[in-house]
């Protein structure tokens, strides 16, 4: 039973490393990432007064960052 648990944990670790490596290779250029994040934030900010979920999200970020 302990061996099974260890195998499951090892498998999860390998999957996490693989996903992290894949994400790192896909991002590549940080300028692309910054532009993408900026675009999403600007689009969400335009919906600030229209959607309650977006408003809560930005309020949380403001409290968390400050």
Mean pLDDT of 32-54: 83
In this prediction the pTM is 0.43
The DSSP letter of residue 1 is -
Q: What is the pLDDT of residue 44?
A: 81
Q: What is the pLDDT of residue 18?
A: 93
Average pLDDT over residues 28-54: 81
Strand stretches in the chain, DSSP E: none
For residue 57, give the DSSP letter.
H
Give CA–CA dist 44/60, Å, rounded.
Answer: 14
Q: What is the pLDDT of residue 4?
A: 94
SS3 22: helix
**Tokens found for residue 55:** 């408003």
């Amino acid at each position: 039973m302990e061996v099974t648990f260890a195998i499951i944990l090892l498998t999860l670790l390998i999957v996490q490393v693989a996903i992290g490596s894949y994400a790192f290779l896909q991002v590549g250029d940080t300028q692309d990432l910054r532009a993408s994040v900026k675009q999403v934030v600007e689009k969400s900010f335009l919906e600030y007064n229209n959607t309650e979920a977006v408003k809560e999200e930005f309020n949380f970020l403001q409290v968390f960052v400050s």
